[in-house]
């Protein structure tokens, strides 16, 4: 891999994007103009309304300016005197004060109505609840009612508009301010230490939706990505059952497991059924069920996992996980063990 810098952007990222652009190219762009969930629909409606009103204002103002510029341009034979100056006209002053106030009032009403529609939504008793915990620079997702903990890839059930099954998120941060944003599902929600914020989504279309942290939170803010997988209820229930299972125990990778349990790994990570119950890094119990590594910096393949464990800074400069400094043999065994965590 060659490393060169153009301004602040590492060209290395272009030379090797660890399979991410190929994967992301299969996912529709995360445009706010293509909403698939009620809160995002509300925001889209308000945006289109505001754009329509401001476009009309722009056309009127730009049209009048263009007309004046052409109609009153300098011509041969002008006498060079100033045109008549108009001020102190009550009807004109009244018009250009009242009309903008009315326009702003209409925009205010429609915005407040949308905010109310989204925020006043009551949580049905059978809604899925997820605790979102932001870390520098990854997302922890805990499903308290289901006993599941995962990272960076949120799974939620498809919500049929006739029988909605929304997902309610409670968001908090363990370090600095972050912002949770999946443009096609809902607006941004600030994720702040010592403050619990809430939001909800009810995706109507199955698929994978890309999101990202939308508040600058340090070195790897730009690589604090997330994905939301929306799947029909049966598939979601299968995923839940898979996540609830204890991790596989494979005697063939016992040495790798010993390395995991005897090094710093276990201080930061949890693998259920082992002595490792750290909370500083992602829960690895079902690591291999996730598509990506390092909050979306790399596709989760065995080769990438080896690079990551060897030195996360190669993929994600500034990542808080230290290089493990294992010899090649131990690194292979540790990765072999991690690769069994389905």
Q: Does 316 bind ligand CUA (CB under 6 A)?
A: no
Taking the least distance from each CB to ligand CUA, the nearer of 30 and 114 is 30
Binding mask 253-282 for ligand CUA (x = CB under 6 A): ------------------------------
CB of 219 to ligand CUA, least distance (A): 10
Q: Which of 215, 231, 283, 333 binds ligand CUA (CB under 6 A)?
A: 215
To ligand CUA, the closest distance from the beta carbon of 169 in angstroms equals 15
Beta-bridged to residue 197, according to DSSP, are: 171
Q: CA-CA distance, 179 to 183, in Å (whole number)?
A: 12
Q: Which residue stretch of 8-16, 67-75, 212-220, 321-329 sits at the interface with ligand CUA (rule: CB under 6 A)?
A: 212-220
Distance between CA atoms of residues 16 and 32, nearest Å: 29
What's the closest the beta carbon of residue 188 comes to ligand CUA, in angstroms?
11
Give the contacts of 263 (CB within 8 A, at least 6 positions apart).
324, 326
Residue 180: CB minimum distance to ligand CUA, A: 9
Asked whether the beta carbons of 32 and 47 are under 8 A apart, the reply is: yes
- Residues near ligand CUA (CB under 6 A), total: 9
Nearer to ligand CUA, 222 or 326 (CB): 222
Minimum gap (Å) between residue 224 Cβ and ligand CUA: 4
Q: Does 217 bind ligand CUA (CB under 6 A)?
A: yes
Of 288, 340, 57, nearest to 153 by C-alpha is 288
The residues with which 231 forms a beta bridge, in sequence order, are 157
Pick the stretch among 30-38, 164-172, 217-225, 265-273 that binds ligand CUA (CB under 6 A). Answer: 217-225
Asked whether the beta carbons of 220 and 319 are under 8 A apart, the reply is: yes
Helices (H) and strands (E) in the chain, counts: 9, 14
Question: Residue 314 is encoded by which pair of tokens?
Answer: 């190669």
Nearer to ligand CUA, 100 or 193 (CB): 193
Per-residue x/- track, 321-340, ligand CUA (CB under 6 A)? --------------------
Q: Which residue lies nearer to ligand CUA by CB, 178 or 257? A: 178
Instruction: Build a one-symbol-per-residue string for 175-204: x at contacts with ligand CUA by CB under 6 A, - elsewhere.
Output: ---x--------------------------
- Quick one: 201 or 295, whose CB is closer to ligand CUA? 295
Distances (CA, A) of 247 to 78, 156, 264, 287, 333: 88, 22, 20, 10, 17
Nearest distance in Å: CB 149, ligand CUA:
19
Among residue numbers 116 through 175, which ones bind ligand CUA (CB under 6 A)? 134, 137
Closest to ligand CUA by CB, 319 vs 335, is: 319
Instruction: Report the relative pairing of strands 225-231 and 189-191 from DSSP bridges.
Output: unpaired
Selection from 244, 231, 280, 294 nearest residue 143 by Cα: 244
- Cα gap 284→279, rounded to integer Å: 11
C-alpha of 239 from chain center: 21
Residues 6 or more apart in contact with residue 312 via CB below 8 angstroms: 294, 319, 321, 322, 323
Residues that bind ligand CUA (CB under 6 A): 134, 137, 178, 213, 215-217, 221, 224
């Amino acid at each position: 891999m060659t490393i060169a810098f153009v301004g602040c952007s590492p060209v290395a990222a272009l030379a090797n994007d660890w399979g991410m652009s190929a994967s992301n190219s299969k996912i529709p762009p995360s445009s706010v103009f293509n909403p698939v969930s009620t809160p995002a629909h509300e925001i889209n409606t308000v945006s289109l309304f505001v754009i329509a009103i401001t476009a009309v204002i722009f056309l009127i103002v730009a049209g009048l300016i263009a007309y004046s510029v052409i109609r009153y341009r300098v011509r041969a034979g002008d006498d060079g005197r100033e045109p008549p100056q108009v001020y102190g006209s009550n009807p004109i002053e009244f018009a250009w004060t009242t009309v903008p106030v009315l326009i702003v009032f209409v925009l205010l009403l429609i915005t407040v109505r949308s905010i109310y529609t989204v925020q006043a939504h009551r949580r049905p008793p059978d809604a899925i609840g997820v605790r979102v915990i932001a870390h520098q620079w990854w997302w922890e997702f805990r499903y308290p009612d289901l006993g599941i903990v995962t990272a960076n890839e949120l799974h939620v059930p498809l919500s049929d508009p006739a029988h909605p099954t929304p997902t309610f998120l409670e968001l908090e941060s363990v370090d600095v301010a972050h912002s949770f944003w999946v443009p096609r599902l809902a607006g941004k929600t600030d994720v702040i230490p010592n403050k619990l914020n809430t939001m909800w989504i009810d995706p109507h279309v199955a698929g994978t939706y890309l999101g990202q942290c939308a508040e600058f939170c340090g070195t790897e803010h730009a690589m604090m990505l997330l994905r939301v997988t929306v799947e029909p209820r049966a598939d979601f229930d299968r995923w839940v059952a898979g996540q609830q299972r204890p991790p596989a125990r494979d005697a063939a990778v016992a040495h790798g497991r010993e390395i995991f349990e005897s090094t710093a790994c276990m201080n930061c990570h949890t693998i259920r059924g082992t002595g490792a119950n750290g909370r500083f890094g992602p829960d690895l119990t079902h690591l291999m069920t996730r598509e990506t590594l390092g909050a979306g910096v790399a596709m989760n393949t065995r080769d990438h996992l080896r690079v990551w464990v060897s030195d996360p800074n190669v993929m994600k400069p500034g990542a808080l996980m230290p290089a493990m400094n294992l010899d090649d043999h131990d690194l292979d065994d540790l990765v072999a063990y991690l690769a069994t965590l389905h």
